Structure 1
Amino acid sequence: MPRTTRALGTLGAVLLLTTMAACGGDSGTPNASADEATLTFVGYGGDGQDAMIANWQEPYTEANPGITFVNTSPPDFAQVQAQVEADAVTWDVIAAAPAAAQQNCGTLFEEIEYTGVSEDDLVEGAVGDCYVGNFVLSTPFAYRTDSFPDPATAPTSVEDFFDTEAFPGQRGLVTNVQNGILEYPLLADGVAPVDLYPLDVDRALERLDTIRDVTTFAPNVGALQQAVGSGQVDMFFLPDSRLVPLLDQGVDITIVWDTTVTSLNALAIPKGTPNLAAAQAFASSVTSPEPAAGIARDLGVSPVNTSAPLDLSPNAELVQYNGPANTGETVSQDLDWYGENYNDAVQRLTIWLAG
């Protein structure tokens, strides 16, 4: 299976990434043992990180008693850069955008000697030179049912999200290219999914201009999840992993299965970690069937391992893009396009958001 670059990442890290690619530090003295280490794991916090602890870390420690974990959040790329430049790396495994890891491969992130299951059992692009994919997420269109209680007059398409006259209300978007903020405006503007790439970023931003005044641009998925839960937004694009906790809490949400954008999440290893062997072994382990199935069960994401046995909760079944609930179409973010255009696209989006 060819290794390809996917572009995912948080907007807050965008300007840093453009300079970080040229930065590097000498690796510290690595711990050659994959059997004895305390790994510092950096995730996104909240329900998602709890699921990672339960499905990845705790079973791994049970099978490898010499490996324990310390958890922290969020995965701040500025902190990665500072640690690497100071040759004082304390983070071992970090949740990272595949494109960010690839663009800084060998400078800020270690090349990974992948030792997991056969790549033939994984989704395409799941393993890169400096990342290991951990699950595939989708960011469907949804709305609070109490905002549109009558199905006859409720939104039914991506286009409706951008129709402020027919569907008034506050919108919500995550300012992260991973979650389709550039794809969805183009889909609403009539671009067919098969014709999305190369992305026309200018056209996407022009379409976003039409809803700027009625849209909450959340800096991260957790912030938008909170806004949805508290009723601050009426309709939104929110990842499946954040929809499940809301549904579990009893928030009445309707998912609009029109065209849904999907993308890959990954783990990376900061350059110079003193626990390189242990970090590589752990990162490789998350692609195994059981860890992959567990994270899918708890978060409603799709497993990176195509043979993972699925036993989803009812609410996870409601949000899984490749399950029976999805009666619409799916478009995967283009690995090659983002690999070449990630920094430029996100910088332009950042400038637009600041305008």
Structure 2
Amino acid sequence: MTSVSRSRIALAGVSITAAALLLAGCSAGGGTASPSASSSGSAEDTAPVSLTFVGYGGVGQDAMIKYYQQPYMAQHPNVTFVNTSPPDVAQVQAQVQAGSIQQDIVATSPAAAQQGCGTIFEPLDLSSVDQKNLVPQTVGKCYIGNFINASPFAYRTDAFPDPSKAPKTLADFFNTKKFPGKRGMLTNLQNGILEYPLLADGVKPDKLYPLDIDRSLKKLDSIRNDTIFAPNVGVLQQDVASGQVDMFMLADSRDVPLLDSGTKITIVWDKTVASINAFAVPKGDPKAKAAEAFLASAVANPAAVTGISETLGVAPVNLATKPVLSANAKKLQVYNKTVNPGTTVLQDVAWYTKNFTLATQKLNAWLAG
């Protein structure tokens, strides 16, 4: 997906206890104006600048255009955005090594950004961001968080129409004899592909890290022939919508549009893996200051973060928000104990920062095996 977005009109491990506080903040308000973004990042510089924004596509990126980019362009008429998807750290690395940066803002995991901090991704000066209302781990040396993303276990209701005979635990996802059918999992580490096998295998949430990668892959072996391993959320969302998979772990921001489109799915609230979705800037980007200014303004703006949360049904990283969620988005509130009586595990950024390359290499080798 590639599009040019241009507007001059503004549009309107952490415990589950901490996550539950996400919707208990003050009423959303407008953010403070930030310095004009330009190729140099100078407040006085109003030269035209185009920022290439690489997101995950779909309704999620549409929401970022509406709530982050369009209001920013209304305040900074010299700034425009080119939107494309999906993000690829290897592609960013290749651009950095070639000295030819073609992307300015890239959606990624905090761990990927931190591990590549100073080599693949640019250290950011986010000192202007008021962090008092931000969830812990939202701001790192080379990233800033966008929202909390969860990938709960769910199944197509038409595949298991009798609730008494439907999957009820993570262990059921891995029990192909009792629950036959095609599975779907995302290969992105951020969506719990290594955590879910261990949780299903009996590892307690508070004992999950450090991850036993080999044990996790061994558990995945048991469902290899019954599972579609999707490279991104868009592919898996389509697989669910078309009936190619019966049960799956898909990002909550993609579960909501499935429900909105009439696809009947049932969430299994057992143990759910969540992570912070983040933005980073490629190392050596000549427009780094302009990208930095945009990110500082967007994520620190409660009104923008509220809009993202309301549209996608995800947990905001800014506590100064009080989203009014749609009926379907309310069904995906992993941080609401009334909705989710199970356990939510927020990924350990520190562990992934140290082990991201190893985990990626082992997972990729297994997928290719």
TM-score by length of 2: 0.85
The match for 1:20 is none
The match for 2:32 is none
Query: 1:316-331 to 2 correspondence within 5 Å?
Result: 316-323=329-336, 324-331=338-345
Query: 1:234-253 to 2 correspondence within 5 Å?
Result: 234-253=246-265
Bigger Cα displacement from structure 2, 108-117 vs 262-271: 108-117
State the shift of 1:277 in Å.
2.0
Change (3 A) 1:234 1:136: same
State the shift of 1:85 in Å.
2.6
CA contact (8 A) 2:72 2:298 kept: no
CA contact (8 A) 1:81 1:108 kept: yes
The match for 1:337 is 351
Query: 1:159-178 to 2 correspondence within 5 Å?
Result: 159-178=171-190
**Corresponding pairs, count:** 328
Deviation string 1:24-48 (CA, Å, 9 cap, x unpaired) is xxxxx96243564221111111221
Structure 1 unmatched runs, 5+: 5-28
**Separation of aligned partners in 1, 2:177 and 2:92:** 45
Deviation string 1:270-301 (CA, Å, 9 cap, x unpaired) is 12222222211111123221111111111111
**Separation of aligned partners in 2, 1:85 and 1:346:** 20
The match for 1:278 is 290
CA contact (8 A) 2:121 2:282 kept: yes
Q: 1:58 aligns with which of 70, 73, 77?
A: 70
Amino acid at match of 1:247: L
Structure 2 unmatched runs, 5+: 1-12, 14-37
Q: 2:324 aligns with which of 311, 317, 320?
A: 311
Query: 1:251-290 to 2 correspondence within 5 Å?
Result: 251-287=263-299, 288-290=301-303
The match for 2:120 is 108
The match for 2:142 is 130
- Give the secondary-structure state (helix, strand or coil) at the position aligned to 1:95: strand
State the shift of 1:105 in Å.
1.3
Query: 1:1-355 to 2 correspondence within 5 Å?
Result: 31-33=40-42, 36=46, 37-287=49-299, 288-323=301-336, 324-355=338-369
Deviation string 1:96-129 (CA, Å, 9 cap, x unpaired) is 2212211121222211111554222111111111
**Separation of aligned partners in 2, 1:264 and 1:205:** 23
Bigger Cα displacement from structure 2, 202-211 vs 116-125: 116-125
The match for 1:24 is none
**Separation of aligned partners in 1, 2:324 and 2:129:** 21
CA contact (8 A) 1:115 1:281 kept: no
- Give the secondary-structure state (helix, strand or coil) at the position aligned to 2:185: strand
CA contact (8 A) 2:181 2:226 kept: yes
Amino acid at match of 2:251: P
**Separation of aligned partners in 1, 2:344 and 2:39:** 42
TM-score by length of 1: 0.88
**Separation of aligned partners in 2, 1:211 and 1:279:** 42
Change (3 A) 1:249 1:31: same
Amino acid at match of 1:160: D
Amino acid at match of 2:117: C
- Give the secondary-structure state (helix, strand or coil) at the position aligned to 1:118: coil
- Give the secondary-structure state (helix, strand or coil) at the position aligned to 1:128: coil
State the shift of 1:82 in Å.
3.1
CA contact (8 A) 2:155 2:246 kept: yes
Amino acid at match of 2:346: S
- Give the secondary-structure state (helix, strand or coil) at the position aligned to 1:40: strand
**Separation of aligned partners in 1, 2:62 and 2:41:** 29
- Give the secondary-structure state (helix, strand or coil) at the position aligned to 2:273: strand
**Separation of aligned partners in 1, 2:128 and 2:184:** 38
CA contact (8 A) 1:116 1:284 kept: yes
Amino acid at match of 1:66: N
- Give the secondary-structure state (helix, strand or coil) at the position aligned to 2:275: strand
Deviation string 1:123-180 (CA, Å, 9 cap, x unpaired) is 1111111101011101100000000001111111111101111111111111111111
CA contact (8 A) 1:186 1:203 kept: yes
Amino acid at match of 2:307: G
CA contact (8 A) 1:290 1:309 kept: no
**Separation of aligned partners in 1, 2:287 and 2:166:** 52
**Separation of aligned partners in 2, 1:179 and 1:81:** 22
**Separation of aligned partners in 2, 1:80 and 1:180:** 23
- Give the secondary-structure state (helix, strand or coil) at the position aligned to 1:121: coil
- Give the secondary-structure state (helix, strand or coil) at the position aligned to 2:177: coil
State the shift of 1:76 in Å.
2.6
Deviation string 1:172-223 (CA, Å, 9 cap, x unpaired) is 1111111111111111111111111111111111111111111111111111
